[in-house]
Every structure is written in structure tokens, then in C-alpha cells.
Amino acid sequence: MAIALNKIKGAGRSKGPPKGISEKEVANVEEMSAPRTPVIYEVVRRLGDDEMARPITSLWWSGIAAGLSISFSLLAQAILQAHLPDTEWRPLVVGLGYCVGFLMVVLGNQQLFTESTITVVLPFLKDTSWRNFWRVCRLWGIVLAANMAGTFVAALFCTFTPVLKPELLAGMVEVSRHLTEMSWPTMLLAGVSSGFIIAAMVWMIPTAETAKFAVIALMTYLIAIGGFTHIVTGSLEAYMLVFAGEWLWWQMIVQFMVPVLIGNIIGGTALFAVISYAQVMEEI
């Protein structure tokens, strides 16, 4: 953003203020002008570079924290569902709970796998070297494993300790059952949609400023009410189904993890990240 504003300021000094606009109003224009697309690209790309440069230990514990935090999405949904009548509009309200975990993760700067499908891919697209390819694989592997470990611990804690009331635990399992109704192709395509939405959210955040809360809530709410699948939040749901005896481990891996992971990567990387790079590659 600073780069774009400096260019605007430089243009203002060389040509003078437009007719009928004072110097003070020119400054107001500079403050209100949205950054150009290459500026947004550079912000996200540098974020990806910084993430790939982090030590393994930092990535791991940040990913664990994200897995634990994201579990509050399912818990919030179960709480809302337990206190609402069984009506046609209930899913629209219950979906609001899905935003909670994402708000904790994104505003807390914790490592979430689906965010990295765009942030670390942009540096790779700019410099498609084996070194950058290894850096992408390194971060993806560590963060995905850490996220899965975090949601696994959360599922164990919710299922086998007396921390939750029986109706809330039953509510978490009930919310999770939508996964059992989806076929493999549906899981994949729903994962593509989810991956694209999360990547779009990451792209929007640099310009959101004070509206970050609203951007995160709106985009993740869309995932919830759209019935799309997300590898991290969905992994908690899948674990809950396994612990409840409604799914076997192989079903969780084959029917959920494989198609959703592929879908999230396609949506976030092959679609959004590549398109985002394509629209600025002649300007950077």
C-alpha cells in the first residue's frame, strides 16, 4: 500500500493538484485510494516468504494452536443448534458459529494450511526454483500435520473428558453428520469451493484494514451455509464421527481427507493463486 501511495504522491508533486482540488483534498484522495493489485500481490507474497523462512518449531506449534482454535467453530455451531428450534432457518443461524474458530486463527496469526495454499505459492510462481518448491512442500507438510494433530487432540478432549455437557457433545456429532451424506466427487468439488473462498479471504485482508473481522466472518460463513468442505475444520468433524463409532478410520481418510485435501489445494492454488499471479505478472 505504501508503494502505491508514494507513486500517487510523486505524481501529485510533479503535476500539481487537479483543478478545483486543494492540496489538503489531494492528501485525502491519497488516503482513500485503494492499493493497486500488484501492491496487494506483493503484500501476500512477502507474507508467504516470511512464513517459509520460519523455523520448523515455530510452524509446528503455530499449526497446533490453529488446530485447537479451529475446533471452536464446531463447538459454537453445536451450542447454537442446541438452543434453536428445528426449523428451516436454523442452519443459517448455526452457520454463524463456524466463523468463531477462523476468527481466532486468522486474527491470532496462527498457521492454517488452507491460507498457505496462496501465500506460499505466490513466491514460488515468481521464482519457480527447486529451492522454492522444497520450501513450499516443507511448510505445507509441517502445517498440515500440525493442524491435524491439533484437531485430533481437540476431538479427544471433547469426546473422552467431562468438559462438555452430553447435549453439546451430541450436538457436535450431529453437526458433523453432514459429511456422511456426501459422495467422493461432492467432497472434492466442495473442497475446491472452500479452498477458493479461503484464498480470496487472504487476498482481501491486506486492504480490509479495520474490516478484517467482517471479511473473515463473511467468507467463512459462506463456507458453512454453502455446505463446502474444509480440510482442517472438517478433520475435527471426521474425528468426532470416528470416536462416535459412525465412521471407520479408513472411511475418514479415503472418503474425507483425500478428496477434500485435493479440492482445497486446487481451489486455493491452481485456481485462485495462479489467477492472482496471472493478473499481475506483467506489472511486477
Exposure of 102 by Cβ count < 10 A (0-12 exposed, 13-18 middle, 19+ buried)? buried
What's the confidence (pLDDT) of residue 147? 97
Task: For residue 152, give the C-alpha cell.
Answer: 485430533
Bigger pLDDT: 233 vs 10: 233
Which residue's C-alpha cell is 480470496?
200
**What pLDDT, on a 0 to 100 scale, did the predictor assign at position 38?**
82
Choose between 24 and 51: higher pLDDT: 51
Strands (E), 65-198: none
Examine residue 176 and state whether it is found in any structural domain, yes or no: yes
Q: Is the pLDDT of residue 7 over 50?
A: no
245-254 pLDDT tens trace:
999 999 999 9
The grid cell for 121 is 505459492
The conformational region for residue 276 under phi > 0 = left, psi -120 to 50 = alpha, else beta, is alpha
Model confidence at 13, pLDDT cuts 50, 70, 90, reads very low
Across 13-17, 19-23, 50-54, 272-276, least confident range: 13-17
Q: What is the pLDDT, as a whole number, of residue 16? A: 56
Are 79 and 24 found together in one domain?
A: no
| 262 closest CA partner among 180, 176, 177, 190 | 190
pLDDT over threshold 60, residue 3: no
Asked if the model's pLDDT at residue 268 lies above 90, the reply is yes
Q: Please state the rounded mean pLDDT for residues 93-98.
A: 96
pLDDT at position 138: 95
Closest CA to 44 of 270, 282, 277: 277
Give the mean pLDDT of 233-254.
Answer: 94
In a shared domain, residues 114 and 149: yes
The arithmetic mean of pLDDT across residues 39-56, rounded, is: 90
Radius of gyration of the chain (CA): 21
Residue 150 belongs to a domain with what CATH number? 1.20.1080.10
Instruction: Output 277-282 pairs: Cβ under 8 A, ≥24 positions apart.
Output: 277/41, 277/122, 277/125, 277/126, 279/37, 280/37, 280/38, 280/41, 281/125
Question: Average pLDDT of 270-282?
Answer: 84
pLDDT above 70 coverage of the chain, percent = 87
Residue 232 confidence (pLDDT) above 70: yes
Residue 103: how many CB atoms within 10 A of its CB?
Answer: 17
Q: Clarify whether residues 50 and 128 are in a common domain.
A: yes
d(CA 242, CA 118) in angstroms, rounded, equals 31
Within 10 Å of residue 175's Cβ, how many Cβ atoms? 24
Q: Looking at residue 159, what is its pLDDT?
A: 94
**Amino acid 1: pLDDT:** 42
Q: For the segment 49-93, what is each residue's pLDDT rounded down to a tens digit?
A: 899 999 999 999 999 999 999 999 999 999 999 999 989 999 999
Are 61 and 200 found together in one domain?
A: yes
All three cell numbers of 177: 453428520
My answer on whether 117 and 251 are in the same domain is yes
CB 142 within 8 A of CB 59: yes
Give Cα 212 to chain centroid, integer Å.
13
Nearest to 63 by CA among 135, 149, 138: 149
Alpha carbon distance 64, 67 (integer Å): 5
The total of structural domains in the chain comes to: 2
Query: 248 and 233, same structural domain?
Result: yes
For the chain, the average pLDDT equals: 88
Cell (9 digits) for 54: 520460519
139 shares a domain with 20: no
How does residue 260 score in pLDDT terms, banded at 50, 70 and 90?
very high
Question: Quick one: cell of 91?
Answer: 442452519
Residues 215 and 274 placed together within one structural domain of the fold: yes
Rounded mean pLDDT, 206-234: 93
CA distances from 64 to 33, 102, 151, 238 (A): 38, 14, 8, 17
Q: Domain check: are 105 and 166 in the same one?
A: yes
Which one-letter amino acid corresponds to residue 159?
A: T
Q: For 104-123, how does the pLDDT look when each residue is reduced to its tens digit (9 = 90+)?
A: 999 999 999 999 989 999 99
Residue 284 lies in a domain: no
CA–CA distance, 178 with 246 (Å, rounded to integer):
12
pLDDT-based confidence at 39, cuts 50/70/90? confident
Q: 133: domain range?
A: 36-278
Q: Which of 222, 226, 225, 231 is nearest to 266 (CA)?
A: 231
- 274 pLDDT higher than 90: no
3-state secondary structure 116-135: HHHHCHHHHHHCCCHHHHHH
Provide φ and ψ at 126, rounded to 5°. Answer: -75, -35
